[in-house]
Amino acid sequence: MNFSRSLRTYLALHSWPVFLFLYAPLAIIVLFSFNRSPVSVQFTGFSTAWYTSLFHNQDILAALGRSLELGIGSASLGTVLGTLLGYGVYRYRAAGLAWLGLLVYLPIIMPSIVFGISEMIFFTYVHQFTGFLSAGLLTMGVAHVTFQIPYVALVVYSRLVGLDRHLFDAAQDLYANPWKIFFHLVLPVTRPAVVAGFLLAFTLSFDDFVISFFTSGPDSMTLPLYIYGAVAKKGVSPEINAVASLMIGMVLVAAITNLLVSRSKEQAQRPSRPWLRSH
């Protein structure tokens, strides 16, 4: 008992400094987003004027709209292609083609700046010889899909690896063709992984700066690019802190919603035991 209590105390003493190190900068951003003074290093009073100014800033709203359009569009396509890739790697990993799965890791471990420069050069050559894929939202979407696919594929593949391979044999014994196996077995089983892959792909796209910087055009500025340009020109302002605070709030709401939904599903799946109440 004493050992367990001392262990909890030891872990708490080491955990809280880590939490403070992780979340103190975010708390400071939220605090100074309500700063009355435009000088971000001096807190002179509480004010919501910067949030009002934020929602009247057409440039920020336009950048936010492009980020949402880019994130949802690229995540949708990346999820479809990543799911198919993950299923393909799983099905053929025992057929002498398992080494192809290693290619999935390359875009993940490759530095983003290298990936972004290579995409920029590729789009430049394609536009030079064909006239298509000029720098803009389309090239950003293609680039985002290419780095989203491996993440979705790994999430789906990790879910499929945990399945019993005899399920596929049983489906074939019941005369199910490959399409029926995919739609009636693979998709229902991997639905949570597919949803998680979509959310991950959207987050990666919405948050991306480096690859977007090299593949964007003059009329395709996303929210991260706008924030970088505003900070480079004017420094960190309370308005930028307000944008960051709203992004933090969106992530926090999404995390809490996911936690509540997961808990409700767990409670719904628990078997009821009325005999416990009777005794």
Whether 147 shows a pLDDT value over 80: the answer reads yes
d(CA 71, CA 203): 7
Pick the CATH number of 64-235 from 3.40.50.1860, 1.10.3720.10, 3.40.50.300, 3.40.50.460: 1.10.3720.10
**136 burial type by CB count under 10 A (0-12 exposed, 13-18 middle, 19+ buried):** middle
Torsion, Cα of 248, 254, 256, 261 (10° steps): 180
Structure tokens at 14: 């080491």
Q: Which of 97-101, 130-134, 140-144, 268-272 has the highest mean pLDDT?
A: 140-144
Q: What Cα–Cα distance (Å) separates residue 145 from each residue in 104, 115, 212?
A: 13, 12, 12
The secondary structure of residue 223, as a DSSP letter, is H
Integer distance in angstroms from the first to the last C-alpha of the chain?
31
As a whole number, mean pLDDT of residues 186-200 equals 87
pLDDT band at 233 (very low <50, low <70, confident <90, very high): confident
pLDDT band at 30 (very low <50, low <70, confident <90, very high): confident
**What's the pTM value of the predicted model, to 2 decimals?**
0.81
Backbone region of residue 111 per phi and psi (left: phi > 0; alpha: psi in -120 to 50; beta: other values)? beta
Q: Which of 8-22, 39-53, 173-187, 198-212 has the highest mean pLDDT?
A: 198-212
Whether 164 shows a pLDDT value over 80: the answer reads no
Predicted confidence at residue 81, as pLDDT, reads 93
Structure tokens at 81: 């292609």
Q: Which of 244-248, 251-255, 268-272 has the highest mean pLDDT?
A: 244-248
d(CA 143, CA 228): 20
